[in-house]
Amino acid sequence: MASERMRIGVLISGSGTNLQAIIDASAEGRLDADVAVVISNLEDAYGLERARKANVPAVWIDRTDYRTFRAYNEAIRDVLLEYEVDVVAMAGYMRLLGTEVLDAYPDRVVNIHPSLLPAFPGPSGIRDAFEFGVKITGVTIHFANENFDDGPIIAQEAVEVAGDDTIRSLEVRIHEAEHRLYPAVLQLIAEGRVSIVGRKARIEGVSQGR
Ligand code: GRF
C-alpha cells in the first residue's frame, strides 16, 4: 500500500453520509485512498446515488437472489475482489458480515458505530444511549468480526450529552464526529499504522485511540 493508493470498498444500507465523508476526504487530499466500489444490500439506499454522482461503481446485491447467507456473502466478496479492494469499510451496513468476506480480508474490515462500544451496540445506538440518560456517548471505529458491533476498537471520539439535547440535536453532533473520525482512521490505515496485537488494535505513534 506504500506506493499505490489504498482501495476502499464501502458497504452501506442507507443514506451514506459516512460514505460521502470518505469520498470528500479522498477528493480533498485528506485521505490517501480511493473508494473503489460501494455495495448496498438495499436497492434504494441513497448512498448508491452518492457513489454514482462521484463516479464510483455502485453495486446492489440483493440478499433474496441468494439461497444461503454464505452464497450472498460470497457474492459480496467476489465484487470486492473484482474491484481490487484493499480495505472494507462498513458504513451503516445493517447486516452481519459472513466469514466469506472476513476471511478474504483478515484484519482489513472496519465498522463505524454511533456509541462508545461496548455500550449500546445494535441498530439504535444513539437513541439507546440518549434514553438511558448517559452524559457522554460518542463514536467507535473498530475492526469487524462475525458479530454485530464487536471487534478490536481502533478509535473513539466522545460526545457530551447536554441537558437540553434532543435525540435530534445529539444525532447531529454524533454524525459530525463520525464524519471527522472515519476518514481520519482510514488515513491511519492507509499509512499502515493500524494493527491488531493480541485482542487489541494498536495505532503506531498514537498512545490513545485518537
Ligand atoms: C451511522 O450512524 C453509523 O455509525 C451506523 O449507521 C449510520 C449510517 O449513516 N452504523 P450513514 O448511512 O453513513 O448516513
Domains and CATH numbers, the chain: 6-203 (3.40.50.170)
Going by alpha carbons, the residue nearest to atom 10 of ligand 1 is: 92
List pLDDT tens digits, range 27-77.
999 999 999 999 999 999 999 999 999 999 999 999 999 999 999 999 999
Nearest-atom index, ligand 1, CA of 114: 4
Pairwise CA distance, residues 35 & 191, whole Å:
16
113 belongs to the catalytic site: yes
Nearest-atom index, ligand 1, CA of 17: 14
Nearest-atom index, ligand 1, CA of 14: 12
The reported pTM is 0.96
Pairwise CA distance, residues 77 & 115, whole Å:
28
Cell of 147: 458479530
Q: Which of 8, 11, 18, 95 to mutate to test the pocket of ligand 1 (most atoms within 8 A of CB)?
A: 18
**Residue 67 neighbours by CB distance under 10 Å:** 8
Query: Is the pLDDT assigned to residue 2 strictly greater than 70?
Result: no
Query: Is the pLDDT assigned to residue 127 strictly greater than 50?
Result: yes
pLDDT attached to residue 1: 47
CA of 205 to the centre of ligand 1 (A): 28
Pairwise CA distance, residues 79 & 86, whole Å:
12
Going by alpha carbons, the residue nearest to atom 1 of ligand 1 is: 92
Query: Is the pLDDT assigned to residue 148 strictly greater than 70?
Result: yes
Secondary-structure percent of the chain, ordered helix, strand, coil, rounded to 5: 35, 25, 40
pLDDT attached to residue 186: 98
pLDDT-based confidence at 206, cuts 50/70/90? confident
pLDDT attached to residue 208: 57
User: Residues 6 or more apart from 5 whose CB is under 8 A from it?
Assistant: 32, 33, 34, 190
User: Residues 6 or more apart from 132 whose CB is under 8 A from it?
Assistant: 120
pLDDT attached to residue 207: 66
Nearest-atom index, ligand 1, CA of 46: 12
Instruction: Say whether 67 sits in a helix, a strand or coil.
Output: coil
Cell of 111: 465498522
* Whole-number average pLDDT of the chain: 96
CA of 139 to the centre of ligand 1 (A): 10
CA of 3 to the centre of ligand 1 (A): 31
Reported as type and span, the H/E element at residue 128 is helix 125-132
> Considering all CA atoms of the chain, what is the largest pairwise distance in Å, rounded to the nearest integer?
49
Under a CB-based contact definition with an 8 Å cutoff, are residues 109 and 98 in contact? no
Question: Could you say which of 113, 142, 175, 179 is catalytic?
Answer: 113
Query: Is the pLDDT assigned to residue 7 strictly greater than 50?
Result: yes
Going by alpha carbons, the residue nearest to atom 9 of ligand 1 is: 92
